[in-house]
Amino acid sequence: MRTAVVVFPGSNCDRDVMNAILDMELGPVDMVWHDEDGFPERPDLVVLPGGFSYGDYLRSGALAAKSRVMKAVRGIADEGGLVLGICNGFQILTEARMLPGALLPNTSMRFICAKSFVRVERADTPFTNAYASGQVVQFPIAHHEGLYFLPPDELGELEARGQVVYRYANSSAGSADAGEEYSPNGSLNGIAGIINASGNVLGLMPHPERATLKGLIRGTDGRNFWQSIRNHFGALEANG
């Protein structure tokens, strides 16, 4: 499989994502500047990385969502390829209307940079199949606008359709209150990550790429995130 990581002015997790994918041996990674019309080679996976594209001017992700490359990103999604937005990438996907909802400032009004736990709500997606459903994993968070918002009716529909894939939990497995809902940023229903209705576009605020390299910082729960993507394409290949 082949990955394209889009680099916006102000992206700062682009190389973290590249290093995670290379470490997991998921195949070649192309770093693609936001002003390009397309990709050097057709990617199977496009990643919109974290950071502060355009300095978060206007609204987080709003200007990046209008970037030239986004037309090609939409094309990959329409063809069934995988598109992943992490943190600022999630904000960009909502601003581009490739995912529903919006990310508002954290209720604490603070930038939160912390260890966080999320519960895997579904293990039948290309981004979660290496986890068990209900498993609690640790991915760091680092954001100021992470409160997932959707008007009540639409939120109910999103939940009913099972589009909530990652939900904040208050601690890791093994402790008494493991997996109980907890919203560090005020996110509605504790939502940390959602998938589109077709199941190939995922946005999440936590950073699996920061929990991937061994010995870098504590925690390698993110390895199975990338493993899930590998499994997805492996299965596609096996089915010819």
Looking at the Cβ atoms of 22 and 62, the one nearer to other proteins is 62
Give me the catalytic one of 13, 144, 209, 232. Answer: 209
Give me the catalytic one of 34, 143, 207, 232. Answer: 207
Question: Taking CB under 8 A as the rule, which mask of x and - marks residues 58-77 in contact with other proteins?
Answer: xx--xx--x-----------
Q: Which helix (H) or strand (E) holds 116?
A: strand 112-120
Looking at the Cβ atoms of 62 and 123, the one nearer to other proteins is 62
Catalytic annotation present for 13: no
Count Cβ atoms within 10 A of the Cβ of residue 113 and give its class: 0-12 exposed, 13-18 middle, 19 or more buried: exposed
Question: Taking CB under 8 A as the rule, which mask of x and - marks residues 133-152 in contact with other proteins?
Answer: --------------x-xxx-
Least distance (Å) between residue 101 CB and other proteins:
7
Query: How many residues can be counted in the chain?
Result: 240
Q: In sequence order, which residues have a C-beta less than 8 Å from that of residue 196 and are 6 or more positions away?
A: 77, 98, 99, 163, 202
Catalytic annotation present for 232: no
Q: Which two tokens stand for residue 115?
A: 């260890």
Looking at the Cβ atoms of 3 and 53, the one nearer to other proteins is 53
Whether 23 and 59 have beta carbons less than 8 Å apart is answered as no
Q: How far is CA 122 from CA 74, 125, 143, in A?
A: 24, 7, 24
Among the listed ranges 2-10, 103-111, 130-138, 174-182, the one in contact with other proteins (CB under 8 A) is 103-111
Least distance (Å) between residue 166 CB and other proteins:
21
Q: In sequence order, which residues have a C-beta less than 8 Å from that of residue 126 and are 6 or more positions away?
A: 82, 199, 200, 202, 228, 229, 232
Looking at residues 39 to 58 of the shown chain, list those that interact with other proteins (rule: CB under 8 A). 58
Q: How far is CA 201 from CA 65, 73, 95, 115, 181, in A?
A: 15, 10, 14, 25, 24
Whether 169 and 136 have beta carbons less than 8 Å apart is answered as yes
Pairing of strands 45-48, 3-7: parallel
Looking at the Cβ atoms of 75 and 186, the one nearer to other proteins is 186
Catalytic annotation present for 207: yes
Q: Does 104 bind other proteins (CB under 8 A)?
A: yes
Least distance (Å) between residue 155 CB and other proteins:
12
Looking at residues 171 to 210 of the shown chain, list those that interact with other proteins (rule: CB under 8 A). 186
Least distance (Å) between residue 190 CB and other proteins:
15
Question: Catalytic amino acids?
Answer: 87, 207, 209
Q: Which residues bind other proteins (CB under 8 A)?
A: 58-59, 62-63, 66, 95, 101-102, 104-107, 109, 147, 149-151, 186
